Every structure is written in C-alpha cells, then in structure tokens.
C-alpha cells in the first residue's frame, strides 16, 4: 500500500529519479500496454522491456484525482517464483496537465539479480497537495 504524505517542495534527493522519458518520445496509451494494476484512485499500465543487463518498465499512471496530487513514486519490482521482491527501482511521475485526463508517463530501469520470474509496477508513495482551509 502506498504511503501518503503532504509536501510543499520536491525533495532534492528525488531529482535523480525523475521520469526518464526521452524528449519527444510519444507517451504510450494505456490500451497499448499489456499489464495493468488498480491502486485506487490510480491505475497503472506498463510493459516490460528486457535488455542484456537491464530490465525496464515503461508505462503510465492514470489518476482520477489529479487536481489533488503533486506526484507519485512508482516502484518497478522483480519478483521471484515465490512472489518475493528480489530487485527494485523507483521513479517519480506527476500530472502533465491540469485536466486530469492525460496519463502520467514513467520509465524505470533496474539491473536484475537473475532470480526474477516476473516484473510488476506498483505505487510506492503518493504525495498529496497541501490544501489550506479545507479546499
């Protein structure tokens, strides 16, 4: 289950895990991605790209409450045959528009241990906007 925190500023330490989407690369659409997970009020969609020494999760987050979220941190996990996490990496993604209708892209690359049977994306953290005066 993701942790939820209020935040005014993006911690400097997260600057290194900002979404790694190439400039000008098209954002994948949820219907183009084979894997899906619902972590209400979010839905994650992704694919797994395997390379010789890296595995990359490429996907998007859809949010039904984008107006109240600063950003989320997505974790890409390598699971062994018993479902234990044996590798992981994280990336930050955030709303790209104020409409709430555009998916938020993420690209996360990790170095596998060799014990992974499958890879999944999950929400690690949700950072809500601070709302002053209950609005």
- The CATH number of whichever domain residue 46 belongs to comes to 2.60.40
Q: Is residue 13 part of a domain?
A: no
**DSSP secondary structure, 113-135, as one string:** -S--SEEEEEEEEEEEEP-GGG-
- Report the predicted TM-score, pTM, of the whole model to 2 decimal places: 0.77
Q: Is residue 2 part of a domain?
A: no
Name which of 110, 116, 50 is nearest 82 in CA terms: 116
The answer to whether the beta carbons of residues 75 and 42 sit under 8 Å apart is no
Q: Is residue 9 part of a domain?
A: no
**Total count of domains within the chain:** 1
What is the token pair recorded at 54? 């890296």
Q: Is residue 80 part of a domain?
A: yes
Q: Is residue 88 part of a domain?
A: yes
pLDDT of residue 99: 65
Q: Is residue 20 part of a domain?
A: no
- Domain interval for residue 59: 29-128
pLDDT of residue 24: 59
Q: What is the pLDDT of residues 56-97, one digit of tens each?
A: 999 999 987 766 788 999 999 999 999 999 999 999 998 877
């Amino acid at each position: 289950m993701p942790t939820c925190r209020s935040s005014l500023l993006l911690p400097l330490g997260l600057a290194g895990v900002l979404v790694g989407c190439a400039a000008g690369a098209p954002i994948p659409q949820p219907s183009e991605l084979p894997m899906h997970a619902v972590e209400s009020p979010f839905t994650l969609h992704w694919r797994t790209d395997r390379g010789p020494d890296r595995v990359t999760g490429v996907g998007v987050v859809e949010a039904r409450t984008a107006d109240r979220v600063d950003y989320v941190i997505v974790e890409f996990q390598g699971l062994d045959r018993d479902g234990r996490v044996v590798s992981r990496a994280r990336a930050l993604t955030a709303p790209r528009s104020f409409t709430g209708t555009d998916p938020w892209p993420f690209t996360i690359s990790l170095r596998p241990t060799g014990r992974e049977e499958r890879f999944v994306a999950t929400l690690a953290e949700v950072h809500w906007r601070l709302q002053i005066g209950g609005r």
